[in-house]
Amino acid sequence: MEPIILLEDVSFSYEGASGRALDGVRLSITPGEFVGVIGPAGAGKTTLAHALSGVTPHVRRGDFYGAARVAGLDTVSSSVAELSKTVGCVFQDIESQFVTTMVEDEILFALENFSVPRDEIPSRVDRALNDLDIADLRLRSISTLSGGQKQKVALAAALALAPSVLVLDEATGELDPASSVQVFELLTQLQRERGATIIVIEQKIMLLCAYAERLLVMDQGRVVIDGSVRRALEQPDRLLALGVNCPRVTTLAARLREKGLYHGAPPVSLDEAEAMVREALA
């Protein structure tokens, strides 16, 4: 299948900065993949998210090398507005994301600007608000909301559009565990029902690994591990050395394997973790 995202040797350095925020990134993602991205602070995760949405190099300026194609568009020769018709994003710097001042308007704005049929708009707004459990915030001013509520509004606006590519950059950082799970369920629904491609940068690695099929680990502007979630989790020492806070259950799996007490793959769910512990105790 044709890749929906294709990065060929993409490097980027911010204006005035000496080092490269992205350094020779090669990446091919096929439609419908659910890809997790992890890595230590400053690894280039946000710059990668920006490169997919065109924010880099159009808004955050600097020297861009290589080629990036997303949904058939070259990110350097296409405008951010053009890209945003297919690439939905929730950015880490959420304050910079809002274009209106009221919750309902934020979701309406997205739908009205992306040629969603008029008669569909009211039901799409209702659904987005209900999906994120924020119907009660509908008429609130965004500036009065908590960090977590703001994240839900940005997620609702992004999900309402049902984009073919959705990029989330630490978009659940201020949500409680139940709401975070709910967001991942919504992402999976978008992936299954619409064949959307989902790219999620996330600190909650265990949660990410329960939903993502493929994991990219970034360090110093490079993608240093790219493979199935299980394969990435099979290298806990490498992840720890990179400064990625590895799930404890993954480290435990590696130790038990070393001692010959466990023979399976690193668990990616609570059930699998329980099965591992039972095997080790048996």
Footprint of Mg ion (CB under 5 A): 45-46, 92
Out of Mg ion, ligand ATP, none, what residue 249 binds, judged by CB under 5 to 8 A for its kind, is none
Residue closer to ligand ATP by CB (options 138, 238) is: 238
Nearest by Cα to 215 from 176, 258, 247 = 247
Chosen from ligand ATP, Mg ion, none, partner binding at 60 (C-beta under 5 to 8 Å by type): ligand ATP
Type of residue numbered 125? V
Single out the segment in contact with ligand ATP by CB under 6 A; choices: 34-42, 181-189, 207-215, 266-274: 34-42
Confirm if 280 and 240 have CB atoms less than 8 A apart.
no
Contacting residue, 1, 2, 18, 41, with ligand ATP by CB under 6 A: 41
Cβ proximity of 200 and 37 under 8 Å? yes
Work out how close the CB of 84 gets to Mg ion at its nearest, in angstroms, rounded to a whole number: 19
Residue among 7, 38, 46, 239 that touches ligand ATP (CB under 6 A): 46
The token pair that represents 217 in the structure block: 């680990």
Regarding 11 and contact with ligand ATP (CB under 6 A), the answer is no
Contact yes or no for 81/137 (Cβ under 8 A): no
- CA neighbor of 221 nearest in space, from 78, 14, 83, 60: 14
Find the shortest distance in angstroms from Cβ 17 to ligand ATP: 4
* Phi-psi label, residue 272: left if phi above 0, alpha if psi -120 to 50, beta otherwise: alpha
- Helix, coil or strand: residue 9: strand
Least gap, CB of 94 to Mg ion (angstroms): 12
Phi, psi of 185 (to 5 degrees): -65, -40
* Cα–Cα distance for residue pair 10/222, rounded to 1 Å: 10
Closest to 20 (Cα-Cα) out of 68, 56, 58, 55: 56
Interaction between residue 47 and ligand ATP (CB under 6 A): yes
For 93, left (φ over 0), alpha (ψ -120 to 50), or beta?
Answer: beta
12 alpha carbon, distance to own chain's centre: 20
Query: Count residues contacting ligand ATP (CB under 6 A)?
Result: 13
Touching ligand ATP, residues 87-106 (CB under 6 A)? 92
| 149 contact choice in Mg ion, ligand ATP, none (CB below 5 to 8 Å, kind-dependent) | none
Cβ proximity of 23 and 9 under 8 Å: no
Q: Which span sits near ligand ATP by CB under 6 A: 38-46, 187-195, 204-212, 231-239?
A: 38-46
**Is residue 21 close enough to count as binding ligand ATP by CB under 6 A?**
yes
Least distance (Å) between residue 262 CB and Mg ion: 34
Nearest approach in angstroms of CB 60 to ligand ATP is: 5
- Of 40-48, 68-76, 222-230, 260-268, which segment contacts ligand ATP by CB under 6 A? 40-48
**Chain residues in the site for ligand ATP (CB under 6 A):** 14, 17, 21, 39, 41-47, 60, 92
